Every structure is written in structure tokens, then in C-alpha cells.
Amino acid sequence: MKNTERDAIIALDFPNREQTLEFLDIFSEEKKPFVKIGMELFYASGPDMVREIKARGHRIFLDLKLHDIPNTVKRTMAVLSGLDIDMVNLHASGGSEMMKAALEGLTRPDGTRPLLIAVTQLTSTDERMLHDELLIEASMNRAVMRYAQNAASCGLDGVVCSPLEAASIKEECGNDFITVTPGIRFADSDAGDQKRIMTPADAGKAGCDYIVMGRPITKASDPVGAYRRAMHDFLG
């Protein structure tokens, strides 16, 4: 199932189809970048948006972070698998039964399936929020490691995590366990609402498999140049 050639993923955080395709059109002379479709775009434009972007030759990470009872997640994953996406995710906090059900639903009759990864803790979560709001007494690192271990034991391909945690997760779950890392910013970029962040170059050194970048590329004056910079810095 795993196709883990390291790559930078562009988060298509746009509100509609028109802005999304206008952005993708500027990459006409580039290799088709790996892209992430999140909740905003998916809820605005639906499955047809996924099909249209896929038809253009892009690999797609469908970032919907499913979190529901096991049977609902299983049936939903079966629907999403039919969109020919390359990667999809859920929340590890949904538990082992939900993750196993998701894997079952995602697997097509011929045995193929997209990569399935689990969200550990959002990169907008810090230690204070973890303890004071979520009432999780464990440290951030311990909580993330436990979620990653649970995902690995359920047969998932990897996790979404902070780049600060990628190396430790590899040590705990094995080098083949995929780490997909948002919270990536250029050194001269605004951190925005991300709290556990790293530069593309440092993420490459940390052993991240995929980095996810949105605003530093989509809001750049030269998005193609920013994408090339991210790829160069990340891959070395």
C-alpha cells in the first residue's frame, strides 16, 4: 500500500472551485504537485472537486479527519475510497475499533486502498490546552506516542503529527511508519495559528515523509517559486 517517496503537499485551503483551479493552473509547467483537500473545499465543492483535481493528474490527500462510531466511519471510508484518492485520515482519539473499521471500509474489493493515517494531536494544540482544556494529564509527547502506537497496532500506514515529533514516532513505530507533518513554515513566514512548527529544511533533517504547507505557498506573491523553495529545502 505504501508509496512513501518524500514529498511536499500543498494545502488547497480555498473556499470554492474557481479559486482552487485558478491556483492549480499556475503550475502548468511544473510536475503536478501533491495536494491536500480539506474540509472547507470539500464541503463547498463536494466529491466532484476531488474527481476534477484527480483527473488533472494530482495525487490527493483528503483531509477530513473522520471521527465517529466505527460503523459510520467504515461506511464513509468505503465511499471516499471510490474517489480514487491517495491518502485519507481520521482522528486516532476515536480508538482502535474505529481505526480497524476504517481500514476495512477503505479496502476495495481488489485489495487496494488509499493510505490511511491518523491524526495524533492538532498542531494548534499546546501543552496548556492539552492539560487545562482536554484534561489529558500525560505530556504532549507521551500522548502523541500512544496515539501513534495505537494506529500502528491497528494496521494504519502512519500518522499526522507535528514535525517536532516525527523522529520519535519513527523510533517507536518503525521507519516505514509514515509521518505527515503540517505546521511547516519558512523561517521568514508568519506562524499563524500553528504552535508546534518547523522549517522545511529542518523537517527534512527530522525524517518527515511528507510536509504539508498551505498559506506560505498559496498566499505567496510567487506560489510556484515558494513551492520550489519548499521542495528544495525539504529534499535537500
Q: Is 2 part of the annotated catalytic residue set?
A: no
Q: Are 116 and 3 in contact (CB under 8 A)?
A: no
For 91-104, give one letter per residue: b (16+ CB within 10 A) or e. Answer: bbbbeeebbbbbbe
Alpha-carbon span 163 to 149, nearest angstrom: 17
The residue from 32, 36, 54, 65 that is catalytic is 65
Rg of the chain taking only CA atoms, in angstroms:
17
Active-site positions read 65
